[in-house]
Amino acid sequence: MTGDQNVLRVRDLRVHYGTGRGDIIAVNGVSFDVRAGETLGLVGESGSGKSTTAMALLRLVSPPGRIVGGTVMLHGEDLLAADERTLRRRRWSEVSLIPQGSMNSLNPVLRVGDQIVDVIRTHEGRARGAALTERVTGLLETVGLPPRVMRLYPHELSGGMKQRACIAMAIALSPSLIIADEPTSALDVVVQRVVARTLMEVKDRLNSSMILIGHDMALQAHLVDRIAVMYAGNIVEIGPVAEIFRDPRHPYTRHLIASVPSIHRRKPIVPSELRFPDHGRGTLLSRGRQMSSRRRPVDLYEVSPGHFAARADDETWAVTEEDPTHA
């Protein structure tokens, strides 16, 4: 890790999804920092709010979702308060995204090269054709793609190639932060490892920071410096990766770690016994009362320097033994 300066400082980020009967809390006042050059893993099950958090950082939450509160400070500038023009300029040049559905993330009617040239032209102005071509070829080469890919259409690429093309696009402007939203989840295991390695290599070369979203604890253990565990819209544990694996405090973190398959012994499948807070009432807020009755963020206590966890003995986070059917 280089230095202790924070590239990104997120405080009390809240995202709600509006429904006819009230709001669903997707992100419940999340706070975390991303340091220069580090990779932060954001893990949690589907629906835990990790992707929504990522999209909120770029203000890309689409209706019925909306960002209700919080600050996202990028190099000391609040992106959530920035005007459209500033926001548009910061996107990609400062924070780029490797999307979750990279299979469908490329525009089907534009050539791969043109989609990379797009960002260069928009953020850096007109550039000469030959220099551009050389630059795009260079980017493709960085992620292990041959130059001819430039002239191909997305449907002519394999899944792994599309993902690499997305990585090439994400590093085109040397951003200070790359958000990778489950960048390898759509790929098979072999390609996953190769793409993940490529990703970390280019990230290190640019000396960018990265937020790596995923649910595969085994993959995270290899790639990230720190881990933040999300559950039901809250970060329930955050800390250095080695520390988290050595001494997981929150029951949900333990479940995630226990779910990593082992080749040495056969493990039973352990379903999570955790129940969502509010005792099955869900996280629905009744309409008109959103502001007054929204839930407080979960309090974290410091386990060891840099390692924080939510108190699991607290009533909301109780691990219940009771039969969920009569809840």
What residues line the site for other proteins (CB under 8 A)? 55, 58, 60, 62, 87-93, 96-97, 99-110, 118-119, 122-123, 153, 155, 166, 169
Q: How far is the CB of 219 from other proteins (least distance, A)?
A: 22
Smallest separation, CB 92 to other proteins (Å)? 5
Which secondary-structure segment (H or E) carries 115?
helix 112-124
CB within 8 Å of 105: residues ≥ 6 apart: 99, 162, 166
**Residue placing its CB nearer to other proteins in the complex, 124 or 299:** 124
For the bound state, the minimum distance from the C-beta of residue 299 to other proteins, rounded and expressed in Å, comes to: 33
Using the minimum distance from each CB to other proteins, give the nearer residue, 7 or 58.
58
Report yes or no: 214 and 228 within 8 Å, Cβ to Cβ.
no
- Is 116:106 a contact under the CB 8 Å cutoff? no
Instruction: Name the 3-class secondary structure at 52.
Output: helix
Contact 268, 322 (CB under 8 A): no
CA atoms of 171 and 238, how far apart (whole Å): 27
Q: How far is the CB of 185 from other proteins (least distance, A)?
A: 14
Cα separations (Å) of 141 from 118, 129, 157?
18, 18, 15
Shortest distance in whole angstroms from residue 42 CB to other proteins: 17
Q: Determine the residue type at 63.
A: P
Distances (CA, A) of 277 to 127, 157, 315, 319: 54, 44, 9, 10
Which two structure tokens, joined as six digits, stand for 196?
């993940």
Which residue's CB is nearer to other proteins, number 36 or number 60?
Answer: 60
252 CB-side CA count, 13 A: 27
Nearer to other proteins, 99 or 214 (CB): 99
Q: What's the min distance (Å) between Cβ of 267 and other proteins?
A: 35
Residue 87 C-beta: closest distance to other proteins, Å: 8
Give the residue with the Cβ less far from other proteins, 27 or 169. Answer: 169
When the beta carbons of 89 and 222 are compared against other proteins, the nearer one is 89
Phi and psi dihedrals of 113, rounded to 5? -60, -45
d(CA 51, CA 17): 13
Q: Which is nearer to other proteins, 209 or 234 (CB)?
A: 209
Q: Specify the residue, 119 or 258, whose C-beta has the smaller distance to other proteins.
A: 119
Closest by CA to 208, choosing from 51, 30, 42, 40, is 40
CB of 209 to other proteins, least distance (A): 17
